[in-house]
Amino acid sequence: MTQTNHPAGLTSAQAEESRRKYGANTLTPPEKDSLWKQFLEKFQDPIIRILLIALLLSVGVACYQYFSGAEGLHVLLEPAGIFLAVMLATCVGFAFELSANKKFDILNKVNDEILVKVVRNGIISQIEKKDVVVGDVVLLEIGEEIPADGVLTEAISLQVNESDLTGEPCTKKTTVSSEFNKDATYPSNHVLRGSSVIDGHGTMIVEKVGDATEYGKVYEGAQIDNKIKTPLNEQLDKLGDTITRISYLIAGIIIVARLGMYFLYAPAAINWLDLAGYMLNTLMIAVTVIVVAVPEGLPMSVTLSLALSMKRMLSTNNLVRKMHACETMGASTVICTDKTGTLTQNQMKVFQTNIYSLPTQKLGEDMVSNLMKEGIAVNSTAHLDFSEQTKVRTIGNPTESALLLWLHQHNENYLSLRENSHVIEQLTFTTERKYMATVVESPFFNKRILYVKGAPEIVLSKCNSVLVEGEKTSVDNYKPTIEAQLLSYQNQAMRTLGFAYQVIDTDEKIFETGLPENMNLTYLGIAAISDPIREEVPGAVKNCMEAGIQVKIVTGDTPGTAKEIGRQIGLWKKEDEESNHHLTGDQFAALTDEVALERVEKLKIISRARPMDKERLVRLLQQRNQVVAVTGDGTNDAPALNAAQVGLSMGDGTSVAKEASAITILDNSFHSITRAVMWGRSLYLNIQRFILFQMTINVVACLIVLIGALLGTESPLTVTQMLWVNLIMDTFAALALASLPPDEQVMQDKPRARGTYIISKDMAVRILGVGFLYVGILFGFLQYFKHEEITSLSTFSFSDYFANFFNFAHVSEGLSAYELSLFFTIFVLLQFWNMFNAKAFRTNGSAFSSFFDLNVMKGFNLVALIILAGQFLIVTFGGEMFHVTPLSLSDWGIIIIGTSPILFAGELIRAVKRI
């Protein structure tokens, strides 16, 4: 493009032509699904789909019953109840995600109206960032964001913060080809949209704008639709298939058995009209079994558990946008994390000082301390911003800012020092010189002082003395000590600065092109500066690894820096150096997928990584059947955040990163990530507890209907009674179990395997064992009520109960309303006590653990009372609708006490296991 060399920049006409040809400097926003479509997505849940089928079947049964003479509209309660269950489960999930997305939109505002200085029509003008076009000449100054991708035509001490794209908080840029950094992620004479100038100034010519920029490509990659199913989705799919098959099998058995019984006892001349009626009745019973088998409360349980966790996780600084991300976090087997801002504080700080004659803990008022604090304050171009009450912000070069922060931490006001010292002349830092020098009129010494700060080896080469205990001595005596200190810091991937001074006796200016060769500088000391790791990170990483979760660092930093950070957080060991557990981005990109697949699980660190390297790592790990969580705060992390099963962005991260993530960590803390894992695992355990509870009910209900069908009697549990048990009671139980607090013990477990069935072997044994036990107990009561006339439970006889257990003699009269009420209440109370056993599942602790701690168990205890009160109200006032009649208080007492051994038997078993 000839226009890029235009000395006056573009004309207005050229700018318009460029915009037409290359587009505007805006990013194409992601297409948002309509609210209606977002709502319909909730119906993709596998259990919801089964419920919809059950709803259709239930409507058919209800219509048949109504038109065949059933009195009242209560026959429609079952389909109405299923419909209510579907709508509650879908609406609650939709409402919570909508609320989280509104919070996210407030958190994540994008501004394209920042003003940018460009050369247009031969003059310097300010235009909005979105109006920058290819070919524009843009002036870059300290503190400004780079608006587009381009090539530098001028770079004066230019340093750029590329951490959002590469993880590098400070990258040197130059137009001198001999000084290009061959290991840099992007060419040294190119600058990129989304990065910012932290030191120096320069001029660039725009080559790419909008979606064509590196930032735009990453943003586009973040919008790729992620169709990877969460582990919970997969497990609920399997559970739904199992429930469907079993219910169809039982329905088939009922049809075959009843047909067999009909033809076995049918008269010689079959009445085909009677047979058709019998067949229709048999089909209705079979359909009833299918409806009863479907756990109406399960979608509500899962939704409530996810929604409650979603709400509570916000209090632990985890803003969850996608509900299933709550649980998926607990299934994670690998966490791929960036370095800057996640493991580290993203703010350079003075780690250690070796300043001779100066205590490192406190700045004294002696000569050396005055030299150091004045030198740091005046020989710098950085600033501190105190406008925020809770946090000091840094402006300018992060290394220089770290020194000012160090002064601030020692209660020294750098601004007062700078303003009280009159600057005579100054040499700014350049990559050629590798030092900065300033001459000032010092108020401390009433003399001119030259201060030099820069690369320690360069500053040291210009010194001939060292100040030790207030006395000057030859620098040669201290060179080995200084070099050893430097090597130690450099091995820890720290940046080092050397300091020197000289009293100037002349009034003449001493700078021309640099420091004169005949200077008599005195070495003051060195400072080691690093972006320190967050205090909580080593412990959090240790917790993750002990929980069986692999942690991998993927960063744009140098190999040395990445490994040192890995060492500090406990990830990188000495033996890892020889085990090929580290690759650079170039090395990783050079691997074929086949070779990379073999190595990805053993990799611990990828350094010098480009954005798509991290995304490729995630895809490969998923091919190895891993559940991957990705953390990041930069635009470079967005494709990987989107590709992962769970993407976790940082609260102060870029808008692109947050848009691509499912969870935003508001406090930027890795510790909050471990909390999310604990919440996820506890949530999965609570869902298992509810499934244990509900599937026991369903097994009992199905078998009772099956037994009734095989014995030729109607089920003692009516449709409306099952509606209460399967929907309302289960919903309350879901609330109770979902409200259980997270359990720290889950972090001692290993992640569950990807293909694990949600009903574990232990759960299956309990469901079937307890289910058959309940069926036996209830069958005994059926036989007892059929053969014994009972008006009060106080006359109940165990000997008659067992005597009638196998008495299959035909009884013409059915059960009375009182007996049906007893049977219904016994059935509910058995499940009530089993809810307490489900609460203690997998803990081996007592069901009464924390029972009287209202802060912990308030929700569970309240729900238990509601279930008891609800059953009392239904039996007392339900009347004909529920086919019940009121029970006496003595009956209630006997039933409650008589069914309670279910709980105490569970307590005894858990006590034996603890022993």
> Catalytic site residues?
338
Tell the residue number behind the tokens 């102060």, with chain if given: 652
- Enter the tokens of residue 569: 């957080």
Instruction: Work out the angle between the directed axes of helices 231-265 and 272-293 (0-180°, nearest 10).
Output: 160
Cβ-defined contacts of 354-357 (< 8 Å, 24+): 354/482, 354/485, 354/525, 354/526, 354/527, 355/499, 355/524, 355/525, 355/526, 355/527, 356/466, 356/467, 356/468, 356/469, 356/478, 356/523, 356/524, 356/525, 357/467, 357/468, 357/469, 357/470
Strand partners of residue 395: 383
- Render 773-805 in DSSP notation, one character per residue: HHHHHHHHHHHHHHHS--S-GGG--HHHHHHTT
Phi/psi at 657 (5° precision): -65, -45
- Enter the tokens of residue 53: 């089928």
d(CA 690, CA 737): 6
Sort residue 396 into left (φ over 0), alpha (ψ -120 to 50) or beta: left
Chain-centroid distance, C-alpha 520 = 58
If DSSP states are collapsed to H, E and C, what string results for 805-834? CCCCCCCCCCCCHHHHHHHHHHHHHHHHHH
Widest distance between CA atoms in the chain: 133
Residues 6+ apart with CB under 8 A from 185: 162, 165, 166, 168, 556, 585, 608, 610
d(CA 65, CA 71): 9
Whole-angstrom CA distances from 510 to 423, 444, 519 are 13, 21, 10
Helical ranges in 713-760 per DSSP H: 719-723, 730-738
- Enter the tokens of residue 293: 């088998």
Number of H helices, E strands in the chain: 31, 25
Instruction: Work out the angle between the directed axes of helices 730-738 and 854-877 (0-180°, nearest 10).
Output: 170
Sign of the alpha-carbon torsion through 338, 343, 348, 353:
negative
Phi/psi at 805 (5° precision): -60, -40
Residues 6+ apart with CB under 8 A from 392: 384, 385, 386, 405, 408
Which residue spans within 308-408 are E strands per DSSP? 318-320, 334-337, 349-355, 383-385, 393-395
Please check whether residue 282 is in contact with residue 260, taking contact to mean a CB–CB distance below 8 angstroms: no
If DSSP states are collapsed to H, E and C, what string results for 152-171? EEEEEEEEEEECCCCCEEEE
- Enter the tokens of residue 90: 């879908």
Residues 6+ apart with CB under 8 A from 240: 46, 47, 49, 50
Of 369, 363, 397, 373, which Cα lies nearest the Cα of 383? 397
Whole-angstrom CA distances from 12 to 8, 121, 149 are 11, 7, 20
